[in-house]
Amino acid sequence: MSLFKTVPPNVVQSIRAFRVTDLQSEAAQLGQHFLYAYCAEATTKQQVLAMIAEAFHFPKHFGKNFDALGDCLTDLAHKAGPQPGFLVVLEQLPNTPKFDKEARETLLDVFRDAADFWVDKKVAFRVFYSFQ
């Protein structure tokens, strides 16, 4: 039985009851890309974006801003050819003065926009996140 029986194919939601290992197994079973970034050490937007870029193997020229993140999650991946789907985990996003609620919401909005981009192409793009 699929772990995602009740989870839409294009969603950005709190990790809540899911365990990272279960999500990774589900991605493998579905043949989808599993992208995981552990952000507990980050305290600023630049550090969060750098951790995501490194974890997701973005190109060296990645601009470490929200627009560049959106481009890498959509256009760059789309131009690479047909995609089997994505399962993204952003664990322990910081709650610091330099990465506050507004920055977290902007980051999640970039992932929501990417989910919208992929739904139009009939490609699953699920994002699960947690905060510190």
CA distance 63 to 53: 9
Pair 72, 86: CB distance under 8 Å: no
The boundaries of the domain holding residue 51 are 30-131
> What pLDDT is attached to residue 6?
85
Q: How many independent structural domains does the chain possess?
A: 1
Which residue carries 């699953």 as its tokens?
124
> What pLDDT is attached to residue 105?
97
Pair 47, 98: CB distance under 8 Å: no
Residue 18 inside a domain? The answer is no
Q: Is the pLDDT score of 89 beyond 90?
A: yes
Residue 25 inside a domain? The answer is no
Render pLDDT for 93-114 as a digit per residue (tens, 0 to 9): 999 999 999 999 999 999 999 9
Residue 3 inside a domain? The answer is no
Q: Is the pLDDT score of 22 beyond 80?
A: yes
CA distance 91 to 42: 11
pLDDT more than 90, % of the chain: 83
User: Average pLDDT for residues 71-82, to the nearest whole number?
Assistant: 90
Residue 86 inside a domain? The answer is yes
Spatial CA neighbour of 88 closest among 132, 123, 47: 123
User: Average pLDDT for residues 6-21, to the nearest whole number?
Assistant: 93
Residue 8 inside a domain? The answer is no
Residue 90 inside a domain? The answer is yes
Residue 126 inside a domain? The answer is yes
Q: Is the pLDDT score of 122 beyond 60?
A: yes
pTM above 0.85, yes or no: yes
> Mean pLDDT of all residues in the chain?
94
CATH of the domain at 74: 3.30.370.10
Residue 22 inside a domain? The answer is no
Radius of gyration of the chain (CA): 14
Render pLDDT for 23-61 as a digit per residue (tens, 0 to 9): 999 999 999 999 999 999 999 999 999 999 999 999 988
> What pLDDT is attached to residue 2?
74
Pair 48, 99: CB distance under 8 Å: yes
